Chains A and B, each alone.
Chain A
Amino acid sequence: MSDLIKKDESAAGHAQCMLNRRQFLMYTGTTAAAVSTISLNLFPGEAQAKARVVGYPRQHIGKLSQLKENIPLDFNYPDENRNSQCFVVKMDGAKAGGGVGPQRDVVAFSYLCTHQGGFMNGKYQAVGEHRVLGQCPLHLSTYDLTRHGIIVSGQAYQSIPQVLLELDGDDIYAVGVMGLLFGRNQNLMESQES
């Protein structure tokens, strides 16, 4: 667990964006609440952007020791319904926003392009120091997996949703999603939300 709170000495700003669920909750000071929100100022004086971390299940998705470098492991999250296809990958030492593990290079994302829902299975690519998902076979969007899934080039309406991870010893848990999964009007479908 010490990995989770260890700050990155080489870059002061790095740790700040290494959001995981624990830190989300620590920010809000409501660790016990099932529903919490985190507010961040984007532009001074703006109304605050809210990200919900609402009752996401804590789901075991694999073991760190089983992950092979640059080989994605597929799982479904936050449920088994439509549009829940996700993957976790260890990016061979490429540090990432939201990355866990000793090298902060383990990340998880949705497979569905947030432009028109293209399925990007098989589109994880390590190119030099870069780690991208894409091009999407439908309209060629690519995403930067070291930067919370931000668009590199393309047409998507938002970053590729990032699955928030926790590492407990060797066990990797999915604990939340940042961003709306393609095709859903809310990530947690009514029937699952309780």
Chain B
Amino acid sequence: MSSKYYLPEDKAPLPPVNAEVLTTCCDYCIVACGYKVYRWPVGTADGGPQAHENALKVSFPSGPLQAWVAPTQHNVVMHDGRPHNVVILPDKEAQAVNLTGDSSIRGGCIAQKVYNPNKPTRDRLMSPMIRINGTLQPVSWDMALDVATEVMKHVVEKHGANAYGMKTYLYQYIENTYAISKFALRHMNTANFAFHDTPSDVTSTPGFRDAGFENFAPSYQDWAAAETLLIAGTDPYETKTILFNQFIKPAIDAGQKTVWLNVRETAGIAYAKSRGNALFLQIDPGTDTPVLGAILRVILENGWEDKEWIEKWVNNQWASDSGFGQGTRNTPWQWRTTWGQFQTKGFEDYKQWNLAQKEYDPKEAAKIANIDPTDIYKAAEMLAKPKADGSRVKASFAIEKGFYWSNNTGNTNAVATLATVCGAGGRPGQMVGRLGGHQRGYQSGGAYPRNKSPQKHAGRRRQSMDCDRYFYAGHTRFAHVIGTTWIQAMCGSAGLNAKFEEQVTNNPHQVRSFDKQEIIDTLKARADSGGTVVLNQEIYLRDPIGSRFADIVLPAATWGESDFIRANGERRIRLYSKFYDAPGDAKPDWWIMAELGKRMGFDGFDWKDANQVCEESSRFSRTGPKAYHMLKVAAHAEGKTLHEKLRELGTTGIQGPTFYNYKTGELLGSKRLHDTTLTPEQMEAEGRSMATNMVNKKGTHFNSQSGKVNIQKHPWSLFSDYWEWMKPKGDELWHTNGRINEVWQSGFDDVDRRAYIAQRWPENWTEIHPDDAAARGIESGDQLMLYSERVPNLRQSIKAQDDTDFSFASRLKNGWIELNKAAVTAVAIVTPHVKKGTLYSYYLNTNQPSNALQGRVPDQISGNYSFKMGVARVKKIGESKYKSEFRSMSFAPRNIV
């Protein structure tokens, strides 16, 4: 018996003094640490161990926190057609983000991401391919692009724009997303458009949107400056490591109190608890709303609300309605904020509503969440009880996917209201926001054509299209998939996979010819017969979307292979430098979109380089939270390009929105949004209001008509029918999923292609509490089957007449929910750090996708999936080799301090 493992190397080359140095940032999590790439030709001398002999200016052996090169930080790439060494290290001189040159395990090993034919990245896509006789075969760019565009044109002409569907990443650099969305939204103008993490084009956090909060308004210093920090649905140590290590951990060490809502206790939570100032509410999945509602109740009953803040910054009903008149209210935030289900007449009205809800009684809430009710009182005290001198606690509120992907609308409404009542949202150390997943790399090149979506809630409440359901219905005749697995990344993924087989593989119209026109005709016939043609842009051939379903595959260039820009979780914009040649014929997605656009006959797709795309996109960023338009203005004033200007700013970059002082030539960033401490006089004195600078309301106020916060209701009843139905029955357990520090959501790089990480996490796994394991005769290392016959799948109903038509109960009663079966296998990790009664799996092992078990019922208000909600039964089917060998995996709990 043998398994994947690596033997660590015991030496690494040091960059020589004359190595070229380029700056970039980590490609992975939202925090985006600054990195330096040291590059020198293979065959020239490496650096020596003395400080004057190497580019790091450090003598080796180096000491704690000093620069060091681990073997995983070195690689060999082609640059200008010649092999070069690269050493990629977190920037020891970083002035922002990863201060002290800190990094996570993911970024720390990012040198292993680059293409190297002698390493596990050797299977990068190198050439365009078309599936002929069932096999993907290399073809020229011209042929692949011609075939794709001829079929696209036909589909749109014959079946309408919505028959062309696009499923794309939201995050992989401004230049790419701008070109992609310009193509799909502005020109194709399809409503069949969704990002990698949702079935519809919707906001991730409806409650924030409707209250008036930007997701990424706070700066990282704000999280550190809070006296009490509530963190719901994530452990930032695991998934936003450096935000925790460099900002939150030092704050905890200095006495910051933390309140955590999570189903499992991982290293960051365990550490906070060990410091004695943390409260851990280990709730059952999906029960955050009752818990936050009950915390609010305790605050209200004690009169601990921030009266001054509420008086000054909370809308009454007139103010929340202002600007709408009796006219259209057909964008989601408009109809939600003016709908009686959520809208209040102001604080007092909210208070009366909260006090009247039985589930916000702390005892009742604690029962639902399966926690100790006294913890609800403790949380309320930590967040809002005035200090002995009468002053308020500075509280901030941070959320992420465990929270907003369970009860999307209810939870985000509840936390927005709680934050507002505590006086948070618009002051240093008193902020509210997401901690983030992917980096912020989206700049829209066109508006979503909402009126073309067939879906609507009761009244004139138009919703974005649920593209998965549209696909299930057989309406998507051309599926354009960019940088996502689509199938495994969505809920109820087994059903989606089966539908793809039906639409694509089992359709009789398969390409059997090498003749271009015959290929085009065959694929057109496929679409006309009711089948689907699949175009996939990717860096690796993914299974099944690429390997089994794609008719055309286009190889994409990525991080390090083109200059790109992107913002992080505090809106910090940096340049990600190209430092090596893309593999084979791979091209960045903006280039691919340009070639497709030109062939479609669209204007405005004739970009020569990435900077041109970036400069074109900048003016559309001006109303957004990461507005980078003034970077271009400053660059042009200095005779530079936007990319050149940003390159000068290195790993520090600049926080959007950006401003330019025309008098002094100074470029200015924005530390936080909604900064109510900024005055117009200050803004003017700094030159932020001159000429083409755009002072957006969100800079100093909130995203509502009035600029004040909408305090909203968060009815549990919108979700409780689904939650009650799903609640484990018989021997079922809750089944939830999420990221793990060592893999995060970059599995295509690290778990698939890094020996070190592959050894740590060689297979799918699930965490199970010792009591649940004992009851089922399960031990760590056992091979398990997780299975369910209760995977609800919303298949019908697109228009609601009454408010309750889209409730889960109504849909179930009306037969609009289909129950599917699903099963995945996993290796058991028996551990007390997961809540009893709950299984926790990795969210996306593409071979054993745990999303197969999660209910495919989008949030009835917002359209997001409740990825975290599922149930499963579990049985032992054997023993994995990891149980008896002592090399791979580890079954040690993650909360050992």
Contacts and interface: CB of A to CB of B under 8 A. Distances in A.
A142 B8 contact: no
B119 A117 contact: no
B9 A147 contact: no
Most buried by B among A47, A148, A155, A187: A155
Interface in A118-171: 118-119, 125, 127, 130, 132, 134-135, 138-140, 142, 144, 146-148, 150-159, 161
Contact of A155 (B69, B119, B241, B266): B241
B892 A127 contact: yes
Contact of A158 (B2, B61, B70): B70
B70 A116 contact: no
Nearest to A11: B884
Contact of B760 (A82, A98, A150): A150
Contacts of A98: 886
A161 B7 CA distance: 11
Contacts of B1: 12-13, 16
Interface in B19-60: 49, 60
B13 interface: yes
B111 to A, nearest CB: 10
Contact of A116 (B64, B118, B742, B888): B64
Interface in B697-726: none
B64 A14 contact: no
A194 interface: no
Nearest to B7: A51
Contacts of A118: 64
A61 B219 CA distance: 51
Interface stretch (B101-109, B145-153, B449-457): B101-109
Interface string B1-23: 11111111111111000000000
Nearest to A43: B120
B885 A11 contact: yes
Contact of B63 (A17, A49, A82, A127): A82
B6 A42 contact: yes
Interface string B865-888: 000000000000000010011111
A138 B250 CA distance: 11
A177 B889 contact: no
A154 B119 contact: no
A10 B71 contact: no
Contact of B887 (A83, A97, A190): A97
SS class of chain A's interface: helix, strand, loop or mixed? Answer: loop
B448 to A, nearest CB: 39
Contact of A119 (B64, B70, B760, B885): B64
Nearest to A40: B7
A13 to B, nearest CB: 4
Interface string A25-65: 00000000000001010110011011110100000000000
B267 interface: yes
A147 B896 contact: no
Contacts of A190: 49
Contact of A132 (B63, B108, B896): B896
Interface string B103-135: 111001100000000111010000000000000
SS class of chain B's interface: helix, strand, loop or mixed? Answer: loop
Contact of B896 (A18, A43, A134, A189): A134
A184 B73 CA distance: 13
A184 B61 contact: yes
Given A179-B8, A187-B10, A81 B896 contact: no
B267 A135 contact: yes
A177 B10 contact: yes
B9 A153 contact: no
Nearest to B67: A183
A128 B49 CA distance: 43
Contact of B108 (A97, A152, A157, A159): A157
Interface string A170-192: 00000001111111111101100
Nearest to B5: A42
A95 interface: yes
A130 B892 contact: yes
A177 B11 CA distance: 11
Interface residue tally of chain A, by bracket?
Answer: 35 or more
B897 A135 contact: yes
A90 interface: no
A180 to B, nearest CB: 5
Given A11-B885, A17-B885, A117 B64 contact: yes
Given A155-B104, A157-B108, A138 B64 contact: yes
B11 A49 contact: no
A117 B60 contact: no
Interface residue tally of chain B, by bracket?
Answer: 35 or more
A96 interface: yes
A143 B267 CA distance: 12
A152 B72 contact: no
Interface in B653-708: none
B331 interface: no
B12 A139 contact: no
Nearest to B246: A139
Contact of A186 (B11, B105, B108, B118): B11
Interface in B69-101: 69-73
B507 interface: no
Contacts of A115: 105, 108
A176 to B, nearest CB: 9
A16 B889 CA distance: 16
B65 interface: yes
A20 interface: no
A49 B49 contact: no
Contacts of B5: 17, 40, 42
Contact of B892 (A83, A96, A112, A142): A142
Nearest to A84: B61
Most buried by B among A114, A153, A154, A181: A153
A96 B741 contact: no
B860 interface: no
B309 interface: no
A127 B890 CA distance: 13
A155 B750 CA distance: 13
A186 B888 CA distance: 25
Contacts of B60: 183-185
B887 A117 contact: no
Most buried by A among B4, B5, B105, B886: B886
A132 to B, nearest CB: 5
A54 B241 CA distance: 36
Contacts of A46: 118-120, 122
B68 interface: yes
A4 B877 CA distance: 34
B896 A180 contact: no
Contacts of A187: 10-11
B8 A153 contact: no
A157 to B, nearest CB: 4
Most buried by B among A14, A50, A142: A142
Contact of A185 (B69, B238, B760): B69
B455 to A, nearest CB: 42
A62 B51 CA distance: 36
B186 interface: no
Contact of A157 (B4, B13, B14, B72): B72
Contacts of B6: 40, 42, 49
B203 interface: no
Given A140-B245, A182-B68, 17 more contacts: A14-B886, A46-B118, A49-B7, A98-B886, A116-B102, A117-B62, A117-B64, A127-B893, A139-B245, A148-B887, A150-B890, A153-B741, A155-B103, A155-B241, A155-B245, A178-B7, A186-B12
Counting from the closest, the 10 A-B pairs by CB-CB distance are A11-B884, A179-B8, A97-B886, A13-B885, A157-B70, A117-B64, A51-B7, A186-B11, A144-B890, A183-B61
21 contacts: A10-B884, A13-B881, A43-B755, A46-B119, A50-B9, A98-B886, A116-B65, A117-B63, A130-B893, A132-B896, A135-B896, A147-B887, A147-B890, A151-B742, A151-B890, A155-B241, A155-B741, A157-B73, A157-B109, A158-B71, A187-B10
